[in-house]
Structure 1
């Protein structure tokens, strides 16, 4: 029976090595790579075609949310489990929205981590009742806000309003991407949609129109 190929992605050496030791003790699991950021994770995906990726959120160069967004379309068979050391719903929700199969807290018992890997490998997902509750509340909240936002006369979505708000504050594309856990390419797409809907040609004009029409606070 083929082993489950696992890629571990975390910028902390200690966590990488600890997880590696724990997983290598299992007969049905093979660790195919240890990556320290999202870019390295993409390289390992090309070389090793992992079945499961244990993905940290906060990493230098490329964080786990952006890495998930980039990996999923290119390697659809790879299943991603987000590793997080805190229960911040926004990060996990962002990763899940890009196709991650679930999340685990880093403080989890090794036995439960291994069980989680097997569950996801067999087609399951890992979302705690607590996170499911937060997700529902967050979706309801964003549903309400997106209704309000799309009621603006230009038909901007909730996400486009968020991008527009950051743009009006003078943030560069890469800063907007970091703030909203998106890739720069996605931010560029949002900005071109915003320009088109507002019928403007640049940032200054977009910011001025957004304030004048009350989409964002003056």
Structure 2
């Protein structure tokens, strides 16, 4: 069985140590290193073969957003999960736009954290419901402050996405897996994956989390109910 190799990037030493102990004692995930800032995280990526990075946002020397951006450019296969607090909501958006694969609250139940790591490792997206409401609430506020930025043509012909692609995107924002989408749309999983790749390309995003954020941020999914 493949062992997931992870690292913890967090400026508080006590949190780094306790997370390492908890994760390793409760799962087969191996914490191969820890770092206290983004610059050290990059050094860690150069030395270790990593699958997952748990990344704090606000750190000295280099913050988690800059580090995520740099790491995703150099090692796109490394999955980054942002460790956050409710106060960091606006930074979470920046981190997701930089390519992070999801985010989780620092105070979360350890079992949920371990499930989240495994889910992201297997290609899922991690956007906890409660925090998603906060994030999308922020987007709504920004949008209301700058209504002139909304272009009618964008809503009608968003990024040149066709109806099938919009439908797949809508299911992504609802948190459905590729398997669920394939069943809902009577398509093979391979076809769904092709649609998702096209969507990423047209939206100019790198992963599921960024696609979801962009869809919400720019109101690409007009009808959420059906």
User: Aligning the two structures, in what range does the TM-score lie when normalised by the shorter sequence?
Assistant: 0.5 to 0.7
How do residues 80-95 of structure 1 correspond to structure 2 at under 5 angstroms? 80-95=80-95
Q: Judge conservation of contact 2:80–2:100 (CA < 8 Å) in 1.
A: yes
The answer to whether 1:134 aligns with 2:147 is no
Structure with higher Rg: it is 1
Count of matched residue positions in the alignment of Structure 1 and Structure 2:
151
Matches of 2:2 and 2:20 in 1, distance apart? 19
Partner of 1:74: 74
Structure 1 stretches lacking a partner, 5+ long = 152-218
Mapping for residues 103-142 of structure 1, pairs under 5 Å: 103-142=103-142
Greater RCO (CA < 8 Å, at least 6 residues apart)? 2
Query: Within 5 A, what are the aligned runs for 1:1-218?
Result: 1-26=1-26, 28-143=28-143, 148=148
Say whether the 8 Å CA contact 2:27–2:114 is kept in structure 1: no
Say if 1:14 and 1:138 are closer, same or farther in 2 by CA, change over 3 A: same
Alpha-carbon deviations, 1:164-197, whole Å to 9, x = none?
A: xxxxxxxxxxxxxxxxxxxxxxxxxxxxxxxxxx
Change in 2 beyond 3 A, CA 1:129/1:150: closer
Aligned-partner Cα distance in 2 for 1:56–1:11:
8
- What is the distance in 1 between the residues matched to 2:103 and 2:134? 14
What is the rounded CA distance, in whole Å, between the counterparts of 1:18 and 1:43 in structure 2? 22
Superimposed CA distance per residue, residues 43-94 of structure 1 (whole angstroms, 9 cap, x where no aligned partner): 1111113111000111110011111111111110111111113343101111
**Cα gap change, 1:125/1:13 in structure 2, threshold over 3 Å: closer, same or farther?**
same
Looking at structure 1, the residues matched to 138 and 88 of structure 2 have their Cα atoms a distance apart, in angstroms, of 12
TM-score (ref. length: structure 1): 0.63
Alpha-carbon offset, residue 34 of structure 1? 0.6
Does the residue aligned with 2:91 lie in a helix, a strand or coil? helix
Q: Distance in 2 between matches of 1:15 and 1:136?
A: 28
Q: Deviation at 1:139?
A: 3.4
Instruction: Indicate the SS of the match to 1:108.
Output: coil
- Using the size of structure 2 for normalisation, the TM-score is 0.61
CA RMSD in angstroms comes to 2.1
Cα deviation, 1:194-213, whole Å, max 9, x if unaligned, reads: xxxxxxxxxxxxxxxxxxxx
Query: 1-side partners of 2:139 and 2:84: how far apart?
Result: 21
Contact 2:86/2:131 (8 A) holds in 1: no
Q: Secondary structure at the match of 1:25?
A: helix
